Amino acid sequence: MAVTVRIPTTMRPLTGGAPSLQVEGATLTEVIDNLDAANPGLRDRLLDEDGALRKFVNVFVADDDVRYLDGLNTPVPAGSTVSIIPAVAGG
């Protein structure tokens, strides 16, 4: 069963404007790999050169920040929602 990935506005040009996508994946790594396979360039926006989540990108599985779970190895149960939320900074 697929999971729903919510795409932030700044990344929607890579998804043809779609605000959310359905992809397969049992872990966050698999979800990102499948997102990038269907929408090339998304992985580069989410992961740095070392393959870690970029500091300015927050990813949630359901309502839980993956940085406080298992990071990229976080399980993504079928039917869940993965939210990609760019960090906001300023003063």
Q: For residue range 44-67, what is the model confidence (pLDDT) as tens digits?
A: 999 999 999 999 999 999 999 999
* Structural domain span for residue 60: 3-86
Residue 30 falls within a domain, yes or no?
Answer: yes
* Residue 91 falls inside a structural domain: no
User: Which CATH number goes with the domain that contains 41?
Assistant: 3.10.20.30
Q: How many domains does the chain have?
A: 1
Instruction: Inform me whether the pLDDT recorded for 5 exceeds 90.
Output: yes
The DSSP secondary-structure symbol of 7 reads: P
What is the pLDDT, as a whole number, of residue 18?
Answer: 97
Residue 68, pLDDT score: 95
Distances (CA, A) of 63 to 24, 32, 35, 51, 83: 19, 18, 20, 23, 8
Distance CA 8, CA 59 (A): 11
**Confidence (pTM):** 0.92
- Amino acid in position 3: V
